[in-house]
Amino acid sequence: MESYPKFHNEVGVPIVRIGCREFKCIGDKPPQDHPHIYLKMGDASEIVCPYCSTLFRFDPSLGAHEADNQRQAPSSRRPGRFKMATNDPNSAG
């Protein structure tokens, strides 16, 4: 069975750029996560999660397991970095 990247949106931004077209959205980090849903963009450049309404936009400049949000930080004016969701309890992501 193929393993797909998992992404969460714990900060609640409306748009998350990701480096893959097939992935799982888990919403927020557990225990506030929603059902882990498999999403596939196909040839489209974006897809909306039906549970959390996050818009995921494909960005080929990112690695398959990378994601960036689109909210601008007031001080730096640069997008924040997301990490792939993980089952490792010692992970910060």
**Residue 60 belongs to a domain:** yes
Is 16 within 8 Å of 55 (Cβ atoms)?
yes
Fill in the DSSP letter of residue 51.
T
Overall average pLDDT of the 3-13 stretch? 90
The answer on pLDDT for 93 being more than 80 is: no
Fill in the DSSP letter of residue 66.
-
**Residue 88 belongs to a domain:** no
Radius of gyration for the chain, computed over Cα atoms and rounded to the nearest angstrom:
13
Q: Can you tell me the distance from the alpha carbon of 57 to that of 76, in angstroms, rounded to the nearest whole number?
A: 22
**Residue 89 belongs to a domain:** no
The CATH number assigned to the domain holding 62 equals 2.60.260.40
Is 13 within 8 Å of 70 (Cβ atoms)?
yes
**Residue 59 belongs to a domain:** yes
Rounded to two decimals, the pTM is 0.73
pLDDT in tens, 22-36: 999 999 988 999 999
**Residue 33 belongs to a domain:** yes
**Residue 93 belongs to a domain:** no
The single-letter code of the amino acid at 2 is E
Domain of residue 57, residue span: 6-82
Residues in Cβ contact with 55 at an 8 Å cutoff, skipping those fewer than 6 apart: 14, 15, 16, 46, 47, 48
Number of structural domains, the chain? 1
pLDDT in tens, 56-90: 999 999 999 999 975 443 333 344 445 455 444 44
